[in-house]
Structures are given as structure tokens and as C-alpha cells.
Amino acid sequence: MITANDLKTKGIACLEESLANQPEAVITVRGKESFVVMRIDHYHYLREMELEAALYETQQDLVAGRFSQESIDDHVDALFTE
């Protein structure tokens, strides 16, 4: 974990040191976990996995018939009248 004070005094070097052997690091503020930092390649990997999961979920919805073929306007109207 990185304290906000460490980050303030050591700057980026503190982050580089913390991320040298782990994919992400937690920053604490006044002893409370507040932020997570990670290398950009790890962020891109997580984002890709998130998009893959969304694609899989969409494919499962299509297979299960959970979709409609109405117009966008009709769909939006239906969402707001439910």
C-alpha cells in the first residue's frame, strides 16, 4: 500500500517502486483505502476482459432470445413506461 503522504513526498518513484512486483497498488488517505493505481498495460488488459465479458453476455442474450427488434424510439418509450 502507498500512503498519500508517500505519494506526495516521493512522487512517481513511489508508484514505480510499488508496481515493480505487482500489477496494482492501493493508495490510502488517512489510513483508508481510497484509490487503486496500475500500469497502463494492466488497465488495457482489464478493459479488454470487461469488453469480452460484455460481448459474451450479449451473445448469450441473443441465443436465449432476450432481445427486441423494435425501433429505437419504441424501445426508449417502452423503457420509460415500465
Residue 82: per-residue pLDDT: 78
Over the chain, what is the mean pLDDT? 95
- Above 90 in pLDDT, residue 68? no
Phi (first) and psi of residue 56, to 5 degrees: -60, -45
- Could you give the CA distance from residue 38 to residue 27 in angstroms, rounded to a whole number? 11
Residues of the chain with pLDDT > 90, as a percent, come to 93
